[in-house]
Amino acid sequence: MAGKILIFLDIDGVLLPFPNPPVSTCGAIFPDATLHALSQILNAVPDALLVLSSTWRAQKNMIDDIIESFQIYGNVHDSPLARITEFYDLTDTSYHDERQYEIYRYLQNNRPRAWIALEDEDLLLERYRNYFEGRAIAVSSPVGLTNADADLAIRLLQQQLAKS
């Protein structure tokens, strides 16, 4: 795990805004804008690996739907998402608590070189606040992942990589 660059990815509220997500123009289940923003991050940090931290991780058919949407969008828009055929990893599928603790728990057993979390839940809760500061991208649920969120994610990853 040392040397890895991880992106913890939530789905609802991050790739899939709610309550009224825009429709994809290419047939993906996620809006083009959120997939474009994720593609920006992967273009800027090509060694980054996705760890699914969403509740979608608990159902294989939902994971398959995510990957299929990545493929569809990636092939239509020449995005690095086209190369993703599986997630690098998942946070514990049998353990559901607050997202902050789920990611913290994962990181206790896996020590990446750099990491960020794309999440619409507050990861800067008191319990592990210091651990998540400078690594949590607070995505607005009704909007989903934006280019500005992607720019922040890239900047935070690059700062961590410069220190390692």
Residue 28 structure tokens: 């993906």
Q: Does the pLDDT of residue 1 top 80, yes or no?
A: no
Report how far residue 38's alpha carbon sits from residue 44's, in angstroms, rounded to the nearest whole number.
10
- Per-residue pLDDT tens over the stretch 19-74: 988 889 999 999 999 999 999 999 999 999 999 999 889 899 999 999 999 999 99
What pLDDT sits at residue 155?
98
What pLDDT sits at residue 164?
82
Report how far residue 49's alpha carbon sits from residue 61's, in angstroms, rounded to the nearest whole number.
21
Fill in the amino acid letter for 121.
E
What pLDDT sits at residue 93?
79
Mean pLDDT of 131-157: 97
- The candidate with the shortest Cα–Cα distance to 79, out of 43, 47, 48, 29, is 43
User: What SS3 class is residue 88?
Assistant: coil
- Per-residue pLDDT tens over the stretch 83-114: 999 999 999 877 767 888 899 999 999 999 99
Calculate what percentage of the chain has a pLDDT beyond 90: 80
Report how far residue 36's alpha carbon sits from residue 159's, in angstroms, rounded to the nearest whole number.
22
Domain boundaries, the chain: 5-163
What pLDDT sits at residue 125?
82
| Three-class secondary structure assignment of 13-32 | CCCECCCCCCCCCCCCCCCH
Asked if 52 contacts 63 with a C-beta cutoff of 8 angstroms, the reply is: yes
- Per-residue pLDDT tens over the stretch 126-138: 888 999 999 999 9
Cα-Cα end-to-end distance for the chain: 14
Q: Cα 73 vs. chain centroid, distance in angstroms?
A: 16
Report how far residue 142's alpha carbon sits from residue 42's, in angstroms, rounded to the nearest whole number.
23
Q: Does the pLDDT of residue 117 top 80, yes or no?
A: yes
Domain 5-163 belongs to what topology? Rossmann fold (3.40.50)
What pLDDT sits at residue 55?
87
- The candidate with the shortest Cα–Cα distance to 9, out of 33, 32, 42, 31, is 42
2: confidence class by pLDDT, cuts 50, 70, 90: low
- The candidate with the shortest Cα–Cα distance to 6, out of 162, 150, 157, 158, is 157
